[in-house]
Amino acid sequence: MQLELHRSTILGQYYAETLIQRINVWGNVCDRDLNILVWNPTAERTSGYLCEEVIGHSRIWDWLYPDIDQRNSIKRMASQVLVEDGIIHELETQIACKDSSVKTIAWYSVPLIDQNDLIQGFITFGYDVTDRKIAERALQKAHNDLHVLYEIASLTSEIKDLDLILERSLQRILVALRSTGGVIHLWDEQCGQMVAKATHEIEGSDLPEGQFVRHVYDLGQPCFSPPPERFLSVPMRAKGQVHGVITVLIDQRAQVSHDEIALLTSIADQIGIAIENAHLYEQSKQLAISEDRRQLARDLHDSVTQSLYSLTLFAEAGQRLMRVGDHDRVEKYLERLGKTAQDALREMRLLLYELRPLAFQSGKLIEALQQRLDAVERRSGLSAHLITSALPPLPPKLEEGIYYVALEALNNALKHSRTSVVSVALSAEDETILLQVSDHGIGFSLAEAERGGGIGLSNMHERAQELGGELCIDSSASEGTKVSFRLPLEG
């Protein structure tokens, strides 16, 4: 597109007064030497420079673009329009206004051509897009900040290793704040001081002073290091308690905005929650270990210890009877001693299995049951059988439920039934899975066991109810015990 005007028009006598002066956008006309010929009211309001100040010379370029590199770049583009008959379309530049404010203008420029097809200058229209650019930058910054917070949240939820969380979080913090180095300190209760747990590009004497980091820890508020200001530190908090301090290296020439401090504070709080969770996780592990030890002690006392004590009694009684020559009763005591030792062995193998259970893998239900029978029942001297038929593919949750119901039934048989034979049958028929665990032991009273609060029975009933199945237990002194778990596959 070209705007063909007479030279007299270029000199400002015709369209410049009627068109350019009345439009509600920046409008100016320049000659080939970049001198301003026309400067409309909107250009005055936008830049702050009056028409009388700019008409007749080219000093406005120096005023609008005080940076010499930017000014030369703009002039080269203007010359390109003049020489090559080109067009500038939607070029955005930042200008320095008279009141020292900075605005962003989108430019449109076309050459002015006289009746002899010679370029005599160019006309420029400008649109103030400052508010739009500010909104775009704010939106982009909010997006970037949310992305960083999302990344940190993902790290803290997916990774259990606290050292790895701190290391990767520090890397993302430095990128978000355009910092070249940083360190994360945690408070160590044992030594009573701050300990650096993650560092990047900061070593030795470059680390922020311990007294400053401790001050931030005690204060619980973001702080800059004393002059020369090189560090910004924020505390990591959770549930009202400070767990440590994040410190980033800052450019002495750059101003740290309130938004950047707020972002770092939000990240620090997120990591503080991860530290709190890590502490709680460690405490829960210690509690679980303690509980496991107490449970093991109870099991050893209730089963193996009692059996071993009985062995000593039988051995002592057998020795006394041997001295008096009562060989018939000695033989009976030896028989009871052997049976009690076998029971103790079974209990011990069961406890070892429970301490180091075989990992259940989805899709390998039959293999898992066979491994259990081989590892515990058969090694304890029992005759153990697994009877299966073709099974349809089962959801992992159903497989796991069937497996643990079978384990509870086998544990009860091993501990209480005094059986020498146990069998596990697993079959599928008419959209139903049927699990049966049977022994030929002494049986028990179901009513008395339920009144006694046996946890094994309650666990089996809870699993059956959760999976929508039906659990049935038949037990008698003559027939032994059979646990039947029927599980419909519909739904």
CATH number of the structural domain 135-281: 3.30.450.40
Which long-range contacts link 373-378 to residues 24+ away (Cβ below 8 Å)?
373/410, 373/422, 373/424, 375/349, 376/346, 376/349, 376/350, 376/410, 376/414, 377/410, 377/414, 377/422
Q: What is the fold, at CATH topology level, of the domain defined by 3-128?
A: Beta-Lactamase (3.30.450)
> Looking at residue 194, what is its pLDDT?
85
Q: What is the mean pLDDT of residues 180-190?
A: 87
Please report the pLDDT score of residue 103 as a whole number: 95
pLDDT of residue 355: 54
Q: Quick check: pTM over 0.85? A: no
Quote the mean pLDDT of the chain. 81
Question: Distance between CA 161 and CA 168 in Å, rounded?
Answer: 11
Which residue from 104, 101, 103, 123 is spatially nearest to 112, judged by alpha carbons?
123
pLDDT score for 97? 96
Backbone dihedral angles phi then psi of residue 122, each to the nearest 5 degrees: -150, 155
Pick the CATH number of 359-488 from 3.50.50.60, 3.40.50.720, 3.30.565.10, 3.30.390.30: 3.30.565.10
CATH 3.30.565.10 in the chain: give the residue spans: 359-488
**What pLDDT score was predicted for residue 137?**
86
From 200, 206, 258, 251, select the one nearest 230 (Cα to Cα). 251
Q: 12 or 163: whose pLDDT is higher? A: 163
The pLDDT, as a whole number, for residue 289 is 64
Q: Can you tell me the distance from the alpha carbon of 16 to that of 27, in angstroms, rounded to the nearest whole number?
A: 9
Assign 259 a pLDDT band (cuts: 50, 70, 90): confident
457 confidence band (pLDDT: 50, 70, 90): confident
Residue 201: how many other CB atoms lie within 10 Å: 12
Residues of the chain with CATH 3.30.450.20: 3-128
Highest mean pLDDT of the ranges 55-69, 388-402, 410-424: 55-69
Task: State the average pLDDT over residues 476-483.
Answer: 87
Give strand ranges (E) for 101-169.
Answer: 102-113, 119-128
Length of the chain measured in residues: 491
What is the structure's pLDDT at 297?
A: 60
Average pLDDT over residues 417-437: 87
Please report, for residues 66, 295, 316, 348, 453, the alpha-carbon distance to residue 302 in angstroms, rounded to integers and kept in the order given. Answer: 90, 10, 22, 12, 16
User: Which one has a higher pLDDT value, 482 or 411?
Assistant: 482
Distances (CA, A) of 244 to 179, 182, 235, 255, 284: 20, 14, 6, 25, 22
Q: How confident is the model at residue 344 (pLDDT cuts 50, 70, 90)?
A: low
Least confident among 27-36, 298-307, 318-327, 466-475: 298-307
Specify the pairing of strand 36-39 against strand 193-200: unpaired
Between 107 and 12, the more confident residue is: 107
Residue 225: predicted pLDDT? 83
Q: Which segments of 55-192 are extended strands (E)?
A: 88-96, 102-113, 119-128, 182-188
* Rounded-to-integer distance, Cα 375 and Cα 415, Å: 15
Question: Region 344-350: what's the mean pLDDT?
Answer: 65
Q: Are 2 and 102 in contact (CB under 8 A)?
A: no
Q: For position 348, what pLDDT does the model report?
A: 67
Q: How far apart are CA 117 and CA 101, in angstroms?
A: 40
Residue with tokens 């070249």: 180
**79, 48 Cβ separation under 8 angstroms:** no
Q: Is the pLDDT of residue 128 over 90?
A: yes
**Closest to 472 in 3D by CA, of 442, 432, 422, 437:** 437
219 vs 246: CA distance, rounded Å: 14
pLDDT of 362 higher than 70: no
Q: What is the pLDDT of residue 12?
A: 43
Least confident of 12-21, 155-164, 458-467: 12-21
Is pLDDT of 400 > 70?
A: yes
What residues does CATH 3.30.450.40 cover in the chain?
135-281
Which pLDDT band, with edges at 50, 70 and 90, does 8 fall under? very low
Residue 425 has pLDDT above 50, yes or no: yes
Q: What is the pLDDT of residue 161?
A: 84
Q: Is the pLDDT of residue 302 over 70?
A: no
Of residues 167 and 431, more confidently modeled: 167
Q: What is the pLDDT of residues 267-292, one digit of tens each?
A: 888 888 888 888 787 777 777 666 66
pLDDT at 149: 85
- State the pLDDT at residue 2: 41
Model pLDDT for residues 212-253, shown as the tens digit of each residue: 888 888 888 888 887 766 888 899 988 888 889 999 988 777
- Integer Cα distance of 302 and 111 in angstroms: 101
Categorize the per-residue pLDDT at 306 as very low, low, confident or very high, splitting at 50, 70 and 90.
low
Residue 33 class from Cβ within 10 Å (0-12 exposed, 13-18 middle, 19+ buried)?
exposed
Classify burial at 269, counting beta carbons within 10 Å of its beta carbon; exposed 0-12, middle 13-18, buried 19 or more. middle
Q: How far is CA 297 from CA 16, 290, 411, in A?
A: 100, 10, 18
Confirm if 107 and 93 have CB atoms less than 8 A apart. Answer: yes
**How many CB atoms neighbour CB 71 within 10 A?**
15
